[in-house]
Structure 1
Amino acid sequence: MAPKTKDGDVVLAFSGKWVTWAHTFTAYAAFISALIVGVSLHYHKIVKNEHYGYPQEWFPSVSATIGDRYPERSFFMFFIAITSGPRFALVGLWYLLTKRPGQQLSKYVAIVGIFRTITCGGWTYVTSTDDHDWHDIFMISYLVATLPWTLGCLALSPPNPTTIKYRKIFGGAFFGTIVPLVYFFIQHKVHKVAGAYTTYAFFEWSLVLLDVAFDAVTMLDFDSFEVVIKDVTGASKGQPKRDSGIEMHKDKPVVQVLNQSFLWTDAIDAVAEVYHGFVFWSMLTSLGLCVWYFPLWNMGISGYEILVMVTVTPFLLSNRSLRRFVVNNLRLVHLLSLSGLVAYKFELPEFRLFAVGLGVALSCLAWTATWSTSAFQPNQLETKVTAWTLGLILHSVVKFAWQTSNPIWPIVHASNGGYNGTGLILAVLAVLRTTRNGTKGSASPVERSQQGSSVLAAFGIGGLFFGLHSLLSDSSTMILWV
């Protein structure tokens, strides 16, 4: 007895044959696109083997086409990745079509079909160049699993003379092609006959075409299926399902974030916030570079190393008067902190170091005050912290792109990839944008119940900050983890 289905609005409905069409098209596209690109760009290289090249060998094998060269290998992998979805759906629909009460063969064939799909991914993404043994293991497993898949599909095929005929033709031709395939491979590998590998390549390509064609027959069977997607909760109409554990107040929908309309002003704000965070991390990481110059030059402790302690300036906010001044002048403090970017203008290393140190000190002070003013506005605080963290990610990505350098560090300039002037202008615009609304929070603490030690919380935040700086600010460090 078929299971009961829930009532709901039909969002999408299509014939099951389109699953087969999608599988057939993407599978053929993977091989044909790789062949066209390979012949166009690397013809003489992909027809060459360990014994002969052009003109003795003039047609590439499947393995040489899809696994040896860029970009044909990427074309093949791209389309095979797309093929995986329709492939799993095809195996699932075939199981639903052929399952019978008390019969286990359909389950066995479905398991074999899934196994073939996984092993196909194995020999696709583990090329013979990467690991020859595992590539062969996946390939042989795929070919071995083809036999029970083919025979199982023939045994379970619905009583349709047309589909049975085509399956016998394609299946028989597939296994019949293996005999000359092996023969010409031996001629090439053992007897080293010129041109044998080209003939072998034609039979190899025939196997690919026949393998996909065998599964393409299912489009005649799946024509009796209709894939229906229903919305049983009304979510597609903006009516989320009511949860008994969540009270739905009038004019206060639970789902708000994804229902918001897109605004360019919000997008600009987001970019400005992230870039502002990127500037902070760029200045912070440049401080160590500027400090390192002096012990390296003096071959010993120079005294300038003390400037690495400027990051403790948020401690000054414990003074009520200073905190009030910083909070009421956040834009000014953020702008003054950009002295860390202006430092590239100074020729003397000492002046450059002092400018960067001042910038980092003021930036730490300003960012802490910014979070403090947003402490009792969770949405605003989350936005600020998220943008600051994304700035760290952007910093690491930029360092990776600039070969472990940063285009706005004060030690770089135009001749070695620096964009100091552009970075400074964008930083000024980002600060003006992110601080245009002034202080929305509170400069003084709001009365609330004591929830723990503020000193321990400060140590926790400091430890987190240290971890982010020491472990995630250098892309070369992260590469060693992979």
Structure 2
Amino acid sequence: MDNRNDRERARLTLDASRIAAVHTYLALATFFTALSLGCLLHYKKIVKNGVAGYPEEWFPSVSATIGDWYPERNVFQIMIALNSGPRFALVFLQYYLTRSVNSSLPTVVFIFGIIRTLSCGGWVYITSSDDHDAHDVLMITYIVCNLPWMVGGIACTPMANIQARKQRQRVCAAFFLSMIPMIYFFIQHKVYRVPGAYTRYSFFEWGLIILDIMYDSVTELDFKAAKLQISLGSSFDGQSEMDKIYTSAPMAETPSEKNALAVTAEPAEKLTGELSDTTAPEPKRLQSLLPTQWRSAAMFLSDVYLSYLFWSIYTSLAPTLFYFSVWELGIAGHELALLSVLAPCLLGISPFLAWARSHEGKMTLHVLSFIGLAAYALPSPLLRLFAVSFANMALSIRQAVDWADGDRAWYNGILTGLGLMLSSLSKLANHSNNPVWPFVHGPSGGYNKTGILLGLLSLYEVHTRTKDTQHAVQSKTTPTSVLPSQTWLPQSIALGGLLFTLHQLLADSSTLVAWSWTGYPIKGPIPNVHGYRTLLAQGGGLLLPVLLPHAGFLTHPAWFLYGAASAYVTYSYKDWLGYSGGVHLALFLMSVIPHVIRNASMTGRVGRTYFTAWLVVCLFDLANVWTVAYAFVPGGVYLRERTDLVLAAQMAVLGLAFNWSGRQLPSFSVSLPGPPDSGSYVNKLLAMLAAASILVAFYQIPSSSPVPYRPGPRIVRAGIWTVHFGIDNEGRDSQRRMRDLIRDMELDVVGLLETDLHRIVFGNRDLTRVVAEDLGYYVDLGPGPNQHTWGVVLLSKFPIINSTHHLLPSPYGELAPAIEAVLDIYGTPVTVVVAHNGQEETPLDRELQSTELARIMAKSYPQPVIFLGYVVTRPGAKRPNPYEILVSEGKMHDIDSLDFDRWCEYILYRGLYRTAYARVSRSTITDTELQIGQFVVPKYGHGVTDDSEPARYLRSWKENLPEEHWFPMEYYGNEKEGGVRGHFYHVFNTPLYYRLPEGAIV
């Protein structure tokens, strides 16, 4: 008996929460001791950096504080070593507390916790002054591991421990949101070398340290709730070795924790029916203010608007990241952001899936996705990319959970189609820009604050739904039936193909019109006029599964063949016939959305199904870009100009969703389990969207024909500008900035290069909308997106008699486009050629392309011609360089052969009198200047009286010419002062002027 008592007395029992408290206080003391010592002993040294010192920089960074000077570095390392024991203990104890035979998530969190702790020791003991690269790699590893550590920790927190869960969510959100301004100020310091930026960066860096410690401190609440104890010493009974160390008897027996474990252990398919019980109660005030019918309508509109935001945020991802690819003219590394939509792979973890399906989880994911909307306020393209990528991670998870939500999947399919239509309509009404895109802000035509406000109202409505109203929106039953497990792969591939095709062809109402456009005289639909017909077809397609939900023909192979035939006509034909195929294709695609989404939801494999679907989307995105960007990517040659193969693959994978075997498919409910009268709401909204699209289209039809700026003196101003796909140097849409300069320069004819934006990576936009509608121009878009070029555009104040689109010879490099148009300029037919030649890496391509352009211009000799092109050659360069080919064989004159400071943009002319030549700096709109040639058209029936070189180079001061020949005076200046909005006359610092030769008849 005495021996037994001695053993009991030798045993030491300690509350685990004490370890968590020790860790928190010791960690805070460690960092703040180093900060205090550093400020006392080496203040001016630790605030100094490579850009500035005190007083511009007045607060030290973490790295400088803990790693540069004695004794603070040594004191910090000793104290952090003391803290390593409690740190590892927290990781092991948290794993012990949350481990489960039914879930691998605690093990995953545990592994990342160990890696996180080791990498912390790495960047602490290997400072930036020791090895900068190793320090940075370990620091980045630590931050990356924080994501699964924190998010996984939230998912593993027992449902009963509400306070701990909320604290973890708040700290986690604050941690990752703080990284956005921190990265911004780091870029200001590192890239732009702004004095004082590193001090601001340091505040957020220290904030992350504190938030990191505060997140780990929440384990104290877990340990207290579980009454977890650590026992050291001998035990008098026959306990196992693990029981000698850890005892947590009360934890296992509490009913609340049993329930939490039961939820974790339940199959994913059974969780749907119990989640509505966790719905937050609706405030009584809101219930009293909204009658039942109004609340029902509000529920439906909130669902539709959130679907609209899904398409808005998702379609902004590719343009936001491709900004970097354009500047690199190759793979820049930022393309990895495209993989952010693969986040649904986390849904394969049962506890995470349970959390994501809960009311709380859905609301959290919604809020995180709104970061993509708020990204518009960030000034840096890189910061916006980070924000949009993170938003798409949350968005893709939330959308996958919605699509997989049992019988509600049919309703969510209808919402997906409605959101896509609303997104397309908003672009039709806003010059082809989605008004809530993060790269479109107020000055460029965005309505970001309004979009966020409506989103918050919609989110509040979802949050305040009662159990009764939630029952109407979310099915409380498991799916009526589940497809055989082996069908998850084809159904997920089909869903991926559908999502990509909807994005590629229907994200903008004028994309299918651009596919069929052939120029003047007009023989088909007009992009900015007839886009509403695409929306009408989309509405008709979505109406089919609403009115005929049980119609088997929507899954019959014959219906698929109808869609495939429509795709063939769309690709193979032009003008009205080609567009009619596109209209039928739009109807087909919209009609199958509910079925495809429903089929994918019935596989019972949430994580793998939606991960695979988004992976298919990513692969198609890359394949679609490679068809035109083959010159800049490894292996691009295999998809060079093969949109036909990509389109065939799209339709083939979509065919997997159809019933080819003729077997009886599992029955399921196709009623809309949304708000009461949701079917009626769908019909009414489709009718409203159709009417709105027609009204918007007719409102945008110009009321009068374009008029040239100077018809009296018969002056023509023609400009050439490479506009870099309508994205300026700050990563914003540049249409309005382009419009302002074109308006001020009073250009009658404009050639714009790099303009084919009807691609996913450019947002499916029309670069001509703002300029053409606000200033009044006839528009001719170059070869369409199915012709594999970067596109050219001709804007003209004069009627376009006819135009021809050319694909210039390009055996090795990128396919070069050109427009040959005949304009009626003051009664005289004048040929205008706008072209974009290949790069210097492919000299044979440039030679062949120049020879073809010379032939086009020479065939109309001696009729007047204006050439506006991107040529890539030195002025005066001999064959086989393009310059001599174009000038000599094309029978053309250079705008000014003595201007040797040119490389890519050239203006050539024939049969006209040139009176001025200007070069205007680009500001930050693009990477090339605007070149302008001013000409006078000879009187009708007369030609140029003296075409000799001396007659053409009669230089003059502007004061010796009539004032209508002058360019705007406001643009005189330089980069530091003068000019307008960053534009000014450069190279010569003034326009060059020329007199008319004696005897000119004008």
**Alignment TM-score, normalising by the size of structure 1:** 0.46
Structure with greater proportional helix content: 1
Structure with greater proportional strand content: 2
**Alignment TM-score, normalising by the size of structure 2:** 0.22
